[in-house]
Amino acid sequence: MSRFISRWRPLSVVGAVLTVLLFASSGYAQGRAQGKVVDKDDKPVADAKVTITSSANNQKWELKTNNRGEYFQIGLPSGSYVVLVEKPNLGAMQANITVRGSAPATQDFKIVPGQAGLTQEQLAKNAALQKLFDQAVAASKSGDHPGAIASYTEVAAGLPSCADCYYNIGLEYSALKDFAQAETAFKKAVEMKPDHADAYNGLANVYNAQKKFDLASQASAKAAELAGGAAAAGGGGNADSLYNQGVIAWNAGKADEAKAHFDSALKADPNHAASHFQLGMALLNLGQLPQAKTEFEAYLKLAPTGANAAQAQAMLNALPK
C-alpha cells in the first residue's frame, strides 16, 4: 500500500515568518510574486532588498525594488513563500504569500519605523529560531526523530502560537510509530489553527495506520474540504488530500470509492504520480484491465524510479498486451 504524503510546514511568528524545509511538495504551474513598497508617507521605496524564500526547498530569489518601489519575480513554482523586505534606516518587514498557478501573488509593504515592522532584536531572535529549526530538520533527515522532537518542542516553547511546530512534532512521532503522541500533536495543531489541512491529513495517517478507518476518513475528508477551499480561492489543487482519502477507502476495501478519489486527485493534478499508481490498482481490482494498464504506464512515465515502480512494471508485464 502506498504511503500517505506528508509535508513539513513553515513556522509563523508575530511580525515575522520563519521558513523550514518542506518535503514532498507538489509540482504545479509556475507563477509570479509582485508588490510595492512604500514609506510612512506612501512614497515609493526604491532599492529596497527583497528576498523571496520557498517553503518547499529553502531556495531564495533576491532582487531590489525599482524607482517606483515595485518588485516583480517570475518563474516561481506553486507553493508557499516568505517575502522579506529590508531597507537601511527604515526597517524590515516579512509576510507569507502563496503562489498558485499563473495567477500573481501580490503583497504590498508599508514600512513605518517602529510600527508593524521587525526590529533588529526580532530579526536576531528569528534567526536563532531558524537555526534551531534547521537543526531539527537535520536531525529528522538523519533519522534522529527524538532529537528533532526535542528541537521542535524547544521552538514551540518560544513561539506559543506556532501550530506548525506541533504539526512537525506529529510527523516525527508518526515516524517513530508512536501514534498516541502523534495524534496529540496533530490535535494540538488543529486546536491552534482550525484550518490546518495538513494536520488533519496527519491525523488521517495516524488513524489509517491503526486501521481506524472511520476516523481516518473523517479526518481526510476535513483535510480535503479545507484544501478545496484554499484551492477555490487561489486556483490550485488538493490532490494530496484526495489521494489520502482514496488510500483510506482502498484500505477499507472500498475499491469503487477509492477509484473516485484517485480520479478526483488526478483532475486536481494530472501529474500526481501516486494517484496514477493507486488508480491503476483500483481499476485492476475492478477488472478494468486496459484502463489499469494506462495508469501504470502513466505512473512509470512520471516516476520511473518511484517507490512503486517495480510493482507497476510487474503489473504491466502480467497484463495482456
Residue 230's pLDDT is what?
A: 43
Q: How far apart are CA 292 and CA 290, in angstroms?
A: 5
Name the nearest CA neighbour of 61 among 70, 49, 69: 49
Instruction: Give me the chain's average pLDDT, please.
Output: 80
Assigned C-alpha cell, 147: 532529537
Residue 119's pLDDT is what?
A: 62
Examine the pLDDT at 9 and tell me if it is beyond 70.
Answer: no
Helix 273-285 and helix 255-268: axis angle, to 10°?
150
Strand 30-38 with 109-110, pairing: parallel
CA 216 to chain centre: 20
Taking residues 3-8, what's their average pLDDT?
46
Q: How far apart are CA 117 and CA 307, in angstroms?
A: 45
Domains in the chain, CATH or no CATH each: 11-118 (2.60.40.10), 119-193 (1.25.40.10), 197-321 (1.25.40.10)
Residue 102's pLDDT is what?
A: 59
Examine the pLDDT at 27 and tell me if it is beyond 50.
Answer: no
Taking residues 133-160, what's their average pLDDT?
87
Q: How far apart are CA 265 and CA 5, in angstroms?
A: 13
Q: How far apart are CA 244 and CA 2, in angstroms?
A: 10
CB–CB of 148/136 below 8 Å?
Answer: yes
pLDDT tens for each residue of 160-186: 777 888 988 999 999 999 999 999 999
Examine the pLDDT at 235 and tell me if it is beyond 60.
Answer: no
Examine the pLDDT at 13 and tell me if it is beyond 80.
Answer: no
Residue 34's pLDDT is what?
A: 93
CB–CB of 279/268 below 8 Å?
Answer: no
Task: Report pTM.
Answer: 0.57
pLDDT tens for each residue of 36-90: 999 989 999 999 999 998 765 667 899 999 999 999 998 888 777 888 898 888 8
Positive or negative torsion for Cα 249, 251, 255, 259 = positive
Q: How far apart are CA 222 and CA 157, in angstroms?
A: 28
